Structure 1
Amino acid sequence: MKNKIYFKLIGVFALLVALISCEPYMDENPDSSINLPPDASEMAFTVTPGDDDFHYTIALTSPTLSGISKVKFNLGNGSTVVGKSTSAYYPLPGDYTITMTITTNGGSSSISQVQTTTETDYSIFTDEKYVALTGGVDDADGKTWVVDSESAGHFGVGDAYLAGGVGLDWWSANPGDKEGTGAYDDELTFNLNGFAVSYENFGVSYVKGYMKDDPNLASVYLNPRQNKDDWDVDYETPTNGTWLITERDGKTYLTISSQKPIIPGLDVGALNNEYEIISISENYLELSCFSAYEDWTKWHFLLRNKDYEKPKVTFDVALDAGTGVNEYLVSVGNAVIPDGQSIDKVVVDFGDGTTAETDIYTEALSHVYMRKGTYAVKVTVTTSVESTESSFSAVIDENHPDYVEFLLAEMVMYNDFSEVQLAAVNGQDCFVATADNPDRTYPNKSSKVGFYSKTNQQWANANMQLPAGYRFDLRQVSTFKLMVYGKAGDVVLLKLENTDKGGDAWMTGTELRYTIQNDNMWEVAEFNFEGAGVQPGAESWKWWPEPVSYDVANDDFYNHDFYNIIRIMLNPDIRNDETHEFYFDELAGPHVEGIKSASIN
């Protein structure tokens, strides 16, 4: 009964495991002229029983042949061996066609014979390597492996002749190095039932340049994110094959046999489709192989059980006051780092245009703020697996004693869409872009201007937000200017808000309106917030809980440490499906304390 159960499980077994010890068979007369290959009638090899019912010794028995440069055995189970003799392992019953090929400098000849085996080696069903690779007899669907792209060294290459080398001494891929190629979505599923392996690449595989002309592949194209030696190829799968595990000279090998390539993420043309198993466990499979096309190279692969959720580095990020005035320290603590992972770098953006970084994660990063305000601090922690961001606020109540205010009693150009940009102008619920000037005549001869278009969005706005920590300073100048070009009668609204209030920012707003006077002519729109809220065309707050002043230019609560965004709207009171458009340029206004000049494009 036991035999019947296992035969049913295994089914038709077409590929088995070979234990090989081989010795190169070199040319006996390298200086000779052309040596024709031997006639098949002169060739012979023997198959004799080994130490148990599953192992056999295969050896050349034609010692009188001369001029031989290579002897190769195809063991009938997908394994190919070069040498005068080898040992083969057949753990299941079957008929195996063994082919010997002898090559001279004049060609090659082959002979074959069938070896029939009748015994089953049941130890394979409990062997740790077989169970780890396939999930064992209890996993009817087999185990699926993917490239462990989050780990360093998931691909690598090294010197084929380096003793003890595993293919990492020349190059080792960093996490995500091949993102955007066909490498990381490959799936290899190994099943103990029938020793089957299937390959799914979702239409695209990743190959070395010397593999791009493989007739099994199609529609080769260069992946623009990689160099000339790395190619994506259109390759339709799934592809099925068989696998075997071999042991020789104290090492373990995995051989994959199929009519079309089965690739562990990157096709390097593995010699004899054979990969040395460097290590194997329930969740990780580390392989290396020689290339049949570049015999001086050895390649490295790290695969992960697809169903395994890899543990990640965890940590806390803290912002603490330092000992100095306005000094703050950012630190990473309580780190839990799984085996094989690391914290490689910590970068802190202090929110005022200053950044700092360290590759020693236990080191605290210090910064001194010069201006009072609320700053959005962002910490980026890069581990060997991923990058994680954490954000929080640093509230600075007072200016640093060494800080000198810079007040300017004249208007500042914020954005002219050609040369000067203090901050970008973006669109919310509308289309905003830089466009050609529709009328390059006085008073606006600039080549580029802003363009605004909205459809069925009442409050759609073009907006310019200052960098974190900066505010408009209305103490010397309270007027904003904007050149406009559009339809006479259309209303342009300019609103000031404080985005620190999050979803309630709209409540903080005070706004003024300008009506375009002429059709399709440039004109200057002015918005003077001196006494805003009491002059015609201005709105005050209806729900804002902070102290309400209708003269924001003269109220210290609002006039220099409050507003940080300008919103520009067109016809905000019209609610219909029509499209509303206009051009605008040379957005200017009061000084921005702490920013002495706009950047020049």
Structure 2
Amino acid sequence: MKTLKNMQWMLPVLLIIGLGLGACEPQVSSDPDMADPPRAENVTFEMTPDAENANVIEFVNTSGGFKALWDFGNGAKAEGDVVTGRYPLEGEYTVKLTIFTESGQAVNSKVVTIEETKIWMLDDPDLNLLTGGIDNLDGKTWVVDSTQAAHMGVGPPGGDWPEYWAAPPLAKPGTGLYTDEYTFTLRGLEFDMNTNGYVFLNGSYGDEVDGTYEAPGGDLMAQWTAPESLNFNFVKDDDGRMFITISDPGWIGFFAGTREYEIQEISENRLALRFEDSVNGLAWYHTLIPKGYEHPVEEPEEPEPLPYTSEELYDNFDEEGNVTWMADEIAGFNESYDNPAPVPINTSEKVARYVKGSGGAHFYDNLYIDPGFEIDLNQRSTIRLKAYLPSYNDYESVAAEKEAWSDGILKQQVSVKLHDKTGMGGDSWQTQAEIVQTLETNTWVELEFDFSGFSDREDFDRIIIQIGGEAHGNPGIFFIDDFELVE
């Protein structure tokens, strides 16, 4: 069982500058401009408990010097000749004062003894969120928020977000990171690190625990159980920043050489931490949630139903049409390209250039239109366009990358498809209507795609044009013109 004498904690430090405060004016016992560097015996200070609360102590530098830095022995620090420390928990605390003179610096210390724990001094709203507060003296247990993006990340030192890398959900399975639990208890500021047998470490710190071995991703994991007598400090500075310090040898999450964590955000169900790895020059990040907490399932918003109607669609690429062209992984689409063969049947000055890319990323290069309505094929069911397929494309070689069911050959064809993209989303190909036409190279061909056989369908809200076939990585350059949806 932990004793309160081992506990350390600090609420916001109150700095009081001693400028002509009468009895509180520091009594200088040494010359701040002395020629020799100061020694420990030159560093002196007075300690005075508050008359109404002996757990609040005023410290006065009586050494002189141009700067006085204090370490209150409970994780909190301050600067100034007259400062105040707060000690909610009973115990002994070593207070250190460092003075700076023109000749150097020196440090000395005294022990402060706090006789009585005053739990009410711990009533801080953020500390209550971390621990569960005085009404939950068994503590509050946190775990890494593994199912959410950016539950772990890394960035440059001094930054405030994971600029280099943010983990996708469940990015570090099998490392121990997702099974470790961290309990913060208000009474005694106790910290329990339940590793469930395994911990996860940066590779630079393998000597911190015994029996480390390589984990997925090149870092280290180890079989390790934390000792029972761990504590934490919770500190707020004058700028409102909050810090947690875990007693050695404990830590939180991925170990990267530090036991001090800045709280970037804290709420009932979220704890965002930032901590720095000074050896490797990195800033690491974790987000945690209370053990057992489940993120609410957000129901996807139902899209507004599209009208079931029909309007004429057209684009001749010489003048502005009434459609918006969009590309799905397509390598290039130019809506105002010089006609490569301005001869009958197409003497237009401008046409559209369609480029199918090379490799696996371009298996399904599609051009598409979302007209903004469910197409009533009883009113308009015919799509017309002109196409030009140059002979300089390679229509014979088998692609190095292809789907298993594809022959891997660039096709001399134009495919027009109708999809239900609103209802089926990414699986709209499963209910598509498709018409494919083959054509000769090096000549403009006028094509007509008649979808009247699908007039019973009322869910088509996307028109797709695909040239050269699909499921293969062979590239191609093609041209289209005079697109229209007509009766």
Distance 2:84 2:417 in 1: 79
Distance 2:199 2:139 in 1: 22
Structure 2 contact 151–288 (Cα < 8 Å) conserved? no
**Pairwise CA distance, 1:189:** 1.0
Matching of residue 171 in structure 1 with residue 164 in structure 2? yes
Distance 1:154 1:299 in 2: 7
**Pairwise CA distance, 1:301:** 3.1
**Pairwise CA distance, 1:206:** 3.0
Distance 1:51 1:156 in 2: 48
> Given the alignment, which residue of 177, 183, 195 partners 2:177?
183
Query: Alignment length, in residue pairs?
Result: 331
Distance 1:219 1:357 in 2: 56
Structure 1's 258 and 597: CA in aligned 2 closer, same or farther, altered over 3 A?
Answer: closer
1:550-589 matches, cutoff 5 A: none
Aligned to 1:476: none
1:349-384 per-position Cα deviation (integer Å, ceiling 9, x unaligned): xxxx747799xx9x99x9x96699xxxx9856xxxx
Letter paired with 2:266 = I
**Pairwise CA distance, 1:316:** 6.9
Structure 1's 37 and 151: CA in aligned 2 closer, same or farther, altered over 3 A?
Answer: farther
1:401-428 per-position Cα deviation (integer Å, ceiling 9, x unaligned): x4359xxxxxxxxxxxxxxxxxxxxxxx
Letter paired with 1:219 = G
Aligned to 1:96: 92
Aligned to 2:150: 152
Letter paired with 2:265 = S
Distance 2:165 2:295 in 1: 20
Instruction: In structure 1, list runs of 5 or more residues that go unmatched.
Output: 1-8, 325-352, 381-389, 406-593
Structure 1 contact 37–102 (Cα < 8 Å) conserved? no
Structure 1 contact 159–169 (Cα < 8 Å) conserved? no
Letter paired with 2:128 = V
1:406-485 matches, cutoff 5 A: none
Structure 1 contact 18–87 (Cα < 8 Å) conserved? no
The secondary structure found in structure 2 opposite 1:133 is helix
Structure 1 contact 153–301 (Cα < 8 Å) conserved? yes
**Pairwise CA distance, 1:52:** 6.2
Structure 1 contact 17–90 (Cα < 8 Å) conserved? yes
Structure 1 contact 19–87 (Cα < 8 Å) conserved? no
**Pairwise CA distance, 1:114:** 2.6
Matching of residue 394 in structure 1 with residue 388 in structure 2? no
Distance 2:469 2:429 in 1: 23
> Given the alignment, which residue of 260, 264, 272 partners 2:249?
260
Matching of residue 277 in structure 1 with residue 277 in structure 2? no
Letter paired with 2:58 = T
Structure 2 contact 122–186 (Cα < 8 Å) conserved? no
The secondary structure found in structure 1 opposite 2:293 is coil
> Given the alignment, which residue of 208, 221, 224 partners 1:233?
221
Structure 1's 313 and 97: CA in aligned 2 closer, same or farther, altered over 3 A?
Answer: same
Instruction: In structure 2, list runs of 5 or more residues that go unmatched.
Output: 17-31, 312-362, 376-413, 440-467, 475-487
Letter paired with 2:48 = T
> Given the alignment, which residue of 196, 199, 202 partners 2:193?
199
**Pairwise CA distance, 1:190:** 1.0
Matching of residue 131 in structure 1 with residue 120 in structure 2? no
Aligned to 2:111: 113
> Given the alignment, which residue of 213, 233, 236 partners 1:247?
236
Aligned to 1:87: 84
Distance 2:203 2:470 in 1: 53
Q: Higher relative contact order at CA 8 Å, sep ≥6: structure 1 or structure 2?
A: 2
Structure 1's 57 and 302: CA in aligned 2 closer, same or farther, altered over 3 A?
Answer: farther
Aligned to 2:388: none
Structure 1's 258 and 315: CA in aligned 2 closer, same or farther, altered over 3 A?
Answer: same
Structure 1's 174 and 90: CA in aligned 2 closer, same or farther, altered over 3 A?
Answer: same
Structure 1 contact 22–81 (Cα < 8 Å) conserved? no
1:439-492 per-position Cα deviation (integer Å, ceiling 9, x unaligned): xxxxxxxxxxxxxxxxxxxxxxxxxxxxxxxxxxxxxxxxxxxxxxxxxxxxxx
Structure 1's 20 and 172: CA in aligned 2 closer, same or farther, altered over 3 A?
Answer: farther
Structure 1's 323 and 96: CA in aligned 2 closer, same or farther, altered over 3 A?
Answer: farther
Distance 2:39 2:153 in 1: 43
Structure 1 contact 223–232 (Cα < 8 Å) conserved? yes
Structure 1's 202 and 316: CA in aligned 2 closer, same or farther, altered over 3 A?
Answer: same
The secondary structure found in structure 1 opposite 2:437 is coil
Structure 1's 236 and 117: CA in aligned 2 closer, same or farther, altered over 3 A?
Answer: same
Aligned to 2:138: 141
Distance 2:294 2:236 in 1: 31
**Pairwise CA distance, 1:304:** 1.6
Aligned to 2:452: none
Distance 2:70 2:287 in 1: 30
- Alignment identity in percent? 22
Structure 1 contact 154–303 (Cα < 8 Å) conserved? no
Letter paired with 2:238 = D
> Given the alignment, which residue of 214, 217, 235 partners 2:209?
217
Structure 1's 316 and 80: CA in aligned 2 closer, same or farther, altered over 3 A?
Answer: closer
Structure 1 contact 200–238 (Cα < 8 Å) conserved? yes
Letter paired with 1:96 = E
The secondary structure found in structure 2 opposite 1:122 is helix
Matching of residue 403 in structure 1 with residue 437 in structure 2? yes
Distance 2:109 2:471 in 1: 86
> Given the alignment, which residue of 277, 296, 305 partners 1:311?
296
1:559-596 per-position Cα deviation (integer Å, ceiling 9, x unaligned): xxxxxxxxxxxxxxxxxxxxxxxxxxxxxxxxxxx999
**TM-score with structure 1 setting the length:** 0.43
Structure 1's 322 and 207: CA in aligned 2 closer, same or farther, altered over 3 A?
Answer: farther
**Pairwise CA distance, 1:120:** 1.8
Distance 1:59 1:356 in 2: 76
CA RMSD of aligned residues (A): 5.3
1:308-349 per-position Cα deviation (integer Å, ceiling 9, x unaligned): 21124432799999979xxxxxxxxxxxxxxxxxxxxxxxxx
Aligned to 1:469: none
Structure 1 contact 182–205 (Cα < 8 Å) conserved? yes
Aligned to 2:7: 14
Aligned to 2:62: 61
The secondary structure found in structure 1 opposite 2:134 is coil
Distance 1:141 1:238 in 2: 19
Distance 1:115 1:98 in 2: 9
Distance 2:246 2:470 in 1: 69
Letter paired with 1:269 = G
Letter paired with 2:45 = F
Distance 1:357 1:138 in 2: 61
